[in-house]
Amino acid sequence: MRSIMQARMRDLYLPKRWITLRVVVGIFLLACGITANARALLSATTAAQDAQMQTKIQSALKDKKYRNVTASVSKGVVTLSGKVDLYVYKLDAVKISRSVDGVHLVLDNLAVGGSSVSDQKLRQELLEKIQTNRAGFGQVFDAITVQVQDGVVTLGGHAVDPATIELTVSLVESMPGVRGIANKIQVDPLSAMDDQIRMAEFNAIYNYSPLSEYSMVPARPIRISVQNGNVTLYGVVGTQMDKDLVGLRASQVSGILRVTNDLMVASTPSKKQ
């Protein structure tokens, strides 16, 4: 009797189990179909969005300075290719592309062409531009160096405030022949004591009559860099006597820890300009 009941129960159970399995398989296959359709729809939507972004970017880059720039978009990633005449145009093209809604990343493959300038000539032109751009005390207390290798400009040295660095970088970006920039300029630490030393050094050097000729030069050839009471003199003077005299005057200022006289005499190539 028990075996008969067990057989009947097994007969009742097996169909239910297979029905359940069929339902599960059916749901799975239906889900796969929905997922595939969703993926296809998403892919079509993404492609449409990419095309829309590409149109917007190309429209934003319609200025003639971007005439040789092309933009392609894939899944929100923009690739810029081609050539521009100035390094600043390269930066602007990247900035414009990033500003378009939906853009996740901009790959910059732009080359900088334009005028061909030797590294030596480019360095000299940059030094002159940087030195004559700022007037007054700010120029005196900034000691910025310039090195050029294959059109890539490395800026170093010290500046009194971040605004000076921003201005310097901006000047370099728009200079023909520049193909890249490495900004390593350090900002002098905030210090009331250093500010007092700067002004005292300025008066000791520039208001001293035997050195008065240097106060008439717009680029301020003698620059006074101060960090935590340590004074370094940069620039170019006419004679060895002037160099020694400037160093002596700088050493007489109270509150300083040390004076390093890195002034160059005009007939000697300058390391720091």
Q: Average pLDDT of the chain? A: 84
SS3 (DSSP) at 171: helix
pLDDT digits (tens, 9 = 90+) for 57-95: 999 999 999 999 999 999 889 999 999 999 999 999 999
Q: Which of 206, 224, 205 is nearest to 215 (CA)?
A: 206
Give the domain-ending residue among 79, 112, 145. Answer: 112
Between residues 182 and 270, the one the model is more confident about: 182
With respect to residue 272, please indicate whether it lies within any of the assigned structural domains. Answer: no
The pLDDT confidence band at residue 129, using thresholds 50, 70 and 90, is: confident
> What is the pTM for the complete model shown?
0.73
Both 177 and 197 in a single domain? no
Q: What is the rounded CA–CA span in Å between residue 41 and residue 232?
A: 66
State how far the Cα of 262 lies from the Cα of 273, in Å rounded to an integer: 11
Length of the chain: 273
> Within 10 A of 10 (CB to CB), how many other CB atoms are there?
9
pLDDT of 253 reads: 96
State the Cα–Cα distance between residues 103 and 195, nearest whole angstrom.
46
**pLDDT, tens only, 192-214:** 999 999 999 999 999 999 998 88
Total structural domains within the chain? 3
| 37 band by pLDDT with thresholds 50, 70 and 90 | low
Q: Tell me the residue range of the domain where 142 lies.
A: 119-187
At 220, which amino acid appears? Answer: R
Tens digits of residue pLDDT in 138-174: 678 988 999 999 999 999 999 998 988 999 999 999 9
Q: Please say which residue of 112, 128, 156 terminates a domain.
A: 112
Distance separating alpha carbons of residues 48 and 41, to the nearest angstrom: 11
